[in-house]
Structure 1
Amino acid sequence: MATLGIAPIRTGSGTQQKLDTRIGALQFTHDFANGYPTPETLERLFDERDFQRACQAYLWALPLVGFAEWQHASEGLGAANGQIVAYLSYTDKRGILTPNATTPYYVGFVDLTRSGPLVLELPPSGIRGGLVSIWQEAIEGCEPGGKYLILGPGQEQPGDTRTHEILSVPSLSFMIGVRITVTDPGQAETVLSQLRIYPYAARDSPPPTSLIEAADRPWSGIPPRGLTYWERLDGIVQREQLGERDHFFLEMLKPLGIEKGKAFAPDARQKELLEQGALLGEAMAKANTCDRRFACVKYHDGAHWDHALNLDADDPAEYWGRLDERASWFYEAYSAAADMSPNRPGPSSAYLGAYRDKAGDWLDGGNSYRLRVPPNPPANLFWSVTLYDLDTRSLILNQQQIADRSSRMDLRKNGDGSVDVYCGPKAPKGFEQNWIPTALGKGWFSYFRLYEPTEAYFDASWKLPDFERID
């Protein structure tokens, strides 16, 4: 870190003092302790203050803006309030941060200020998922087969609700996201028809379940860049009541033109600071994600695999008060729940992230790599390895539309039961079915998922090697 340089400057009115700092030279009318900032220094200091606030607010707001952007994109696809959109194809999922490459997604957004209290009916089986708040925090309390009356903050319970279970949600907007676990198309259609969302006011004649498909249309639910990032955040600030935990961030946003009850109309100075803050804020977010500097983040000693979601399953509420850990996940992912960062075996999923190879170099689409998955992977269901584009943090873009390999596929195995997954511009001869194509000039990263991990994952007695660069 640079030291603070102090030098006197002789002028006709006395001795000014100049401080050489990391943002340039700052001048004061006398010595630093007894002098006032000069007009030029005043402007520089206020600009720097607000610029630093924009950078930190970018990191703080990542879960909010990710939610708001997907909600906005869903409306752009033609989804009405509460209507489910089906994301089925490879192209559909490229608008989602780090999706599973093979699982269909069914996602809808609800604004309770438009619908009023809402009824949610869940199928008795064949479904997995739930509700997510504007912070992308899982909302507990929904079970298969349940019939719920959902109330947002400030909404009063209607008189006759004897046939419904009351579910109070912490935000006026929320997302419902589900995966259909049955594989038979007829059964899947039945399960979807049993998923009902309608206003309580329409309870006597509820509309039938209606969903639309993304249908390979271009869309993006990925946090936008530039001024649009702040427009999405302002929309959340205006519509929602954020908690006391976020009070000082909301205060930091006021000089930048984002304040509840006031129109977002930044002047030229504010626009420049917001745009630069979003740019440097994203650079900080990328560094914070691909080089996580948290305690106990590595899967095992000497490896470059991180625990991607650093949430304590025994105390999930504590996670939402962390700035850097939270930002590291939401820069590249959607939603967080205790069963996505488990501490022990059970019905959960474990996520490991890799950004460097065995030698410690960044993963590069122009190079070829081998990942050797050792025998007896610690997963009751299956494992998968998925590659993501560094720019969009979504499925890697290639002509073959191949982003993952998993134990559910017909992969070539080695004699000891291990599996070699190859990543690179060209398929290795004889291992085409084990190959994930990458592109020259584009960085990528990977998630390794274990579905229903077993004890060998938690005690790290099963050690996943790093990606190893090969010729």
Structure 2
Amino acid sequence: MKKTLVSIALSSVVFSGFSMAETQFHQPKVEIVNGVVSPKSAEKIFQEMDYQRAVMLYHWAIPMVGTHGWERANRIGNIEKYQFGSYTGYENLTGILTPNQVVDYLISFPVLDEPLVWEVPAGFNAGMVMDYAQQTQQQVGSVGPNRGEAEKILLIGPGIEVPENTQGYDVVHVPTRVAFLGTRNMVQDPKDHAEFNENIKLYPYGQKEKAKQLIPVLAEDTEDGRAHLQRHPRGIEFWQALNEIVQREEPQERDILFLDMLKHLGIEKGKPFEPTKAQQALLVAAEEQGFVNASVNSYSSRLKGFKFWEESNWYLPLTVDPTNQHHDLDGKASWYWEAISSAPAMVTTTPGVGSTYLGIYSDENGHGFDGCETYSLDVPDGIPAKQFWTMTLYNNETRALLLNETMNAELGSLSNLVMNEDGSATLTFSPEQNGAENWIQTNCGEDWFAWFRLYQPEQAYFDKDFFLPNVKKAL
């Protein structure tokens, strides 16, 4: 009998200028007996295979588990069937992934076991109909086909027949059992803003009397005082959330390969999720590594088109670019780990329509932002945003609004800023105000990043005829 102990790690191989010893790939030693891997080594290899697959599955599941978090928040807020919940104001937005403070988020997660009608009133709003994996099926409101006029959307789920009379409706087929409906109310006049919220409706086709009035989801309704801790859960809870989704939804063709991988981790449709102790340990470790990978994929992305200006550290966080050749796994994981929902109008290519986002994750030295330090940003005059612009700070770990004593994590063109003589505005980010006029409070021990939004960006944005400098650390 011939025994061989083989180390799969190729420590002497050079790849693209780096030795494998430097990269330290995680690869176990393998015992081979007469040309066949021994049972003990085979068990280790299978364990390693399952671990690697689980880390990749974390990446793939990010959009769905993000949706699950917001659906859970609606349940906590007692949002009922045929009803929307509204998320408004700093306190009630503090759990959402990277929200804007100056808009209302109107959200519902209906089960599509019957034809449903979503009535969207006229007014400045931007939203979408999505499936549970946050794939946009149709844009809504000012960015939709009706360009902000009142509209009726007829939602048809899998296996549901379309009613005979669809005149006056936009018929939208959603491939998942549960839809993700959302829009942002950006109507500026207070009276018209409230009227828009009152007139948003959801009801079964031909039964408008079943529609229920929108209600706010409030932070005071939750144990931790956050209306919506929508970030992806940690540890085994991530996989428990994913199992709930797998059990409820019908398999999509795009997901068959990933669903097959899940079987070896204890998640399979029609079967209880009862992982062994070994599986639990593996899943917890994979979630931890998946979290780190997702952070790198978002904050230090290698995606094409990620950097906006070569001369500064501003990036485009939304670079999802699926084609008929690939599904853009990294692009989707990057965006949906950092944010919630997407649509073409959120990365508009048309001047005066939709919105766009610029993110910054490090200072001019390439270092992340330390909540104990003082930083500033000089926003130049003439930001090319027809509606308004905002600068918002988020916690690096939760991707949610910074919690601070001032109850504000955002400044922008609607904030009554104190302007410099040249029309620019200096924004300051620090634990103490120290005389700063346009100030967002940060917290020692809490790292942060920021998004700069432009609503209805104008031609100068697309031509890059304006420039945002780096956020600079005070000397």
Common fold: TM-score over 0.5: yes
| Equivalent residue letter for 1:29 | I
**What is the 5 A alignment of 1:372-391?**
372-391=378-397
Task: Give secondary structure in 1 for the equivalent of 2:387.
Answer: coil
Provide, for residues 353-405 of structure 1, a one-character-per-residue CA deviation record: whole Å limited to 9, x for no partner. Answer: 11100111111111111111122112112211100011210101111112011
Q: CA deviation at 1:275?
A: 1.1
One-letter amino acid of the structure 2 residue matched with residue 247 of structure 1: I
CA contact (8 A) 2:137 2:172 kept: no
Q: How does 1:222-371 map to 2 (within 5 A)?
A: 222-311=231-320, 321-371=327-377
Shift in CA distance, 183/318, structure 1 to aligned 2, threshold 3 Å: farther
Q: Map residues 68-467 of structure 1 onto 2, 5 A cutoff.
A: 68-113=68-113, 116-140=114-138, 142=140, 143=146, 144-162=149-167, 164-200=169-205, 202-203=207-208, 205-217=209-221, 218=225, 219-311=228-320, 321-429=327-435, 431-432=436-437, 434-467=438-471
Mark the CA change 1:45 to 1:131 in structure 2 (over 3 Å): closer, same or farther. same
Report the Cα offset of residue 347 of structure 1: 0.9
* Deviation (angstroms), 1:207: 3.8
TM-aligned CA deviation for residue 167 of structure 1: 2.4
Q: Secondary structure at the match of 1:256?
A: coil
Shift of 1:135: 1.6
Query: SS of the counterpart of 1:173?
Result: coil
Partner in structure 1 of residue 21 of structure 2: none
SS in 2 for 1:300: coil
- Does the aligned pair in 2 maintain the 1:28–1:35 contact within 8 Å? no
Residues 119 and 268 (structure 1 numbering): CA distance in 2 closer, same or farther, change over 3 Å?
same
Q: CA deviation at 1:18?
A: 2.9
Distance 1:465 1:163, change over 3 A: closer
Aligned to 1:9: none
**Whole-Å Cα distance in 1 between the matches of residues 359 and 63 of structure 2?**
19
How many residue pairs match? The answer is 448
User: Counterparts of 2:203 and 2:439 in 1: how far apart (Å)?
Assistant: 45
**CA shift for structure 1 position 338:** 0.8
- Summarize the Cα distance change of 1:320–1:341 in structure 2 as closer, same or farther, 3 Å threshold: farther
How far apart are the structure 2 equivalents of 1:426 and 1:319?
Answer: 51
Take 1:103 and 1:362, find their aligned partners in 2: how far apart are those partners?
28
SS of the aligned residue for 2:310 comes to coil
Counterpart secondary structure, 1:260: coil
Shift of the alpha carbon at 1:25?
4.7
1:104 positional shift: 2.0
**AA in 2 matched with 1:179:** R
In structure 2, the residue matched to 1:10 is: none
Letter in 1 for 2:175: P
For residues 32 and 302 of structure 2, the distance between their equivalents in structure 1, rounded to whole angstroms, comes to: 42
Residue 17 of structure 1 is matched in structure 2 by 5
Shift of 1:467: 0.7
- The answer to whether the 8 A contact 1:382-1:451 is kept is yes
- How far apart are the structure 2 equivalents of 1:289 and 1:15? 45
Aligned twin of 1:26:
29
In structure 1, how many angstroms separate the alpha carbons of the residues matched to 2:453 and 2:234?
29
C-alpha contact 2:88 2:216 (8 A) present in aligned 1:
no
- Cα distance, 1:192 vs. partner? 2.3
Q: Deviations over 1:149-176 (max 9, x none)?
A: 3110111124555564432222221122
Alpha-carbon separation, structure 2, partners of 1:250 and 1:468: 45
Equivalent residues of 2:32, 2:38 under 8 A apart: yes
Moved more, 266-275 or 212-221: 212-221
What is the DSSP-based 3-state SS (H/G/I as helix, E as strand, rest coil) of the residue aligned with 1:110?
Answer: coil
Q: 2:130–2:174: 8 Å Cα contact kept in structure 1?
A: no
Check 1:127–1:382 CA distance in 2 against 1; reply closer, same or farther (3 A cut).
closer
Contact 1:27–1:37 (CA under 8 A) maintained in structure 2: yes
Aligned to 2:22: none
Shift of 1:255: 0.2
Superposition deviation, residue 187 in structure 1: 2.4
Change in Cα spacing, 1:15 to 1:185, as seen in structure 2 (3 Å) is: closer
TM-score (norm 2): 0.89
Counterpart residue type for residue 258 of structure 2: F
Q: Which residue identity lines up with residue 444 of structure 2 in the other structure?
A: L
Structure 2: gaps (5+ residues): 10-24, 141-145
Percent identity of equivalent pairs = 35
Residues 89 and 215, structure 1, Cα contact 8 Å, conserved in 2: no
CA drift at 1:15: 4.0
Distance 1:367 1:130, change over 3 A: same
Runs of 4+ aligned residues of structure 1 deviating over 4 Å after TM superposition are 159-165, 316-320
Query: What is the TM-score when the length of structure 1 is the normalising length?
Result: 0.89
Contact 1:58-1:278 at 8 Å conserved across structures: yes
